[in-house]
Amino acid sequence: MDDIPALRGQEAFLLSPDKELAELLTGLWPVEHMRFTVFERGRRAIEHLFNDPPDLLVVDERLPDIGGPEVASLVKSENVYRQLPVVLVMDREGLDLPRDWEQVEVDDFLVRPLDPKETRARVNLTMLRAMRALDANPLSKLPGNTSILQRIQQCVDSGEDFALAYCDLDYFKSFNDKYGFSRGDEVLMMTARVIVNTIRTFGGVRSFVGHVGGDDFVFIMPPDLVEEACRRVVQSFDSIVPHFYDADDRARGSIVSVDRQGVTRTFPIMAVSIAVVFSTGKRRLSHAGEAASIAMGLKKKAKENPKSCYVLDQRER
């Protein structure tokens, strides 16, 4: 059976009076991958759903007390539950009814009779798609926090050697204050592109780029290539970023803006700071949080330098 790491330990609700359906679905995944809670009536499930939302909701149109699409709407109309993937189970005749799919806010549907293999594949896909859509940074579309943590944990668990780089921008806030958010977003899009393409120039290696949010980015590289990658990111960023300033500020090499204390100050052109943590040889990271805390310390060091720079974790490796 296909084992998808991202889909371990999932909780699912099935809202259906159909015992056969419940049996089929629960039999499709080992219980440590997907645990189903079955509700034979719809209304009673709503409160559970809102109190303790599962990772997947399967709703049967045969529910006696509430329509499947109505349950879906209840979930999807609230921003805090919107990300929950909803799959509607229909009878073949149900397909003949005219439907406004814009109103029926489900992520996928299944039609009786259910084919077990197809059902499992489609539900897996629906869940992965929902995760990607939820987790992607809305601006850069790069994988976000959940994927980043997952990827770091995978690297840790596999015991492979890797280097983890945390990037952020110096003086990004003052740039945003002076030029506005949309120009700030332009710089973030540029930065994302520089990092992604720089990492990709190292063909044939396992790598990963994620966008934590704002001006924070993460990338994972083999340890022997990471310093060269940092060097190239710094070089490309420094050569491109001046073009995001007005000509007079670029010529001056600085902008005048207001700092966090409300004092008018001069700020240099933005720079990129990179802190690199290794998991190699004797020094192996044990979890994602450890990497982040080591990186925070290094970051301080990198920030002492107003120019773009990278700092490598120098503890004994």
Judged by the rule CB under 8 A, the positions of this chain that interact with other proteins are 139, 185-187, 189-190, 193-194, 196-198, 200-201, 203, 236, 239-240, 243-244, 251
**For residues 149 and 271, which CB has a smaller minimum distance to other proteins in the complex?**
271
Burial of 251 (0-12, 13-18, 19+ CB in 10 A): exposed
Residue 56 Cβ, how far from other proteins at the closest point, in Å?
33
Write down the least CB distance from residue 243 to other proteins, Å: 5
- In the sheet where 10-15 sits, what is the strand order? 34-39, 10-15, 56-60, 86-90, 108-111
As measured in angstroms, the least distance from the Cβ of 201 to other proteins is 7
Question: Under the phi-then-psi rule, with left for phi > 0, alpha for psi from -120 to 50, and beta for the rest, what region is 266?
Answer: beta
Smallest distance from other proteins to CB 162, Å: 22
Strands 162-170 and 216-221, bridge-based pairing? antiparallel
Residue 103 vs 201, nearer CB to other proteins? 201
The rounded distance, in Å, linking the Cα atoms of 18 and 236 is 60
Amino acid type, 288: A
The residue (of 130 and 187) whose beta carbon lies closer to other proteins is: 187
C-alpha 231/C-alpha 239 separation (Å) is: 12
Smallest distance from the beta carbon of 257 to other proteins, in angstroms? 20
Q: Which residues contact 190 (CB under 8 A, 6 or more apart)?
A: 240, 241, 244
In angstroms, the Cα distances linking 129 to 54, 125, 178 are 16, 6, 38
Residue closer to other proteins by CB (options 81, 244) is 244
Q: Which of these, 243, 233, 241, 313, lies nearest to 273 by C-alpha position?
A: 233
Chain length of the chain? 317
Integer-rounded Cα radius of gyration of the chain: 25
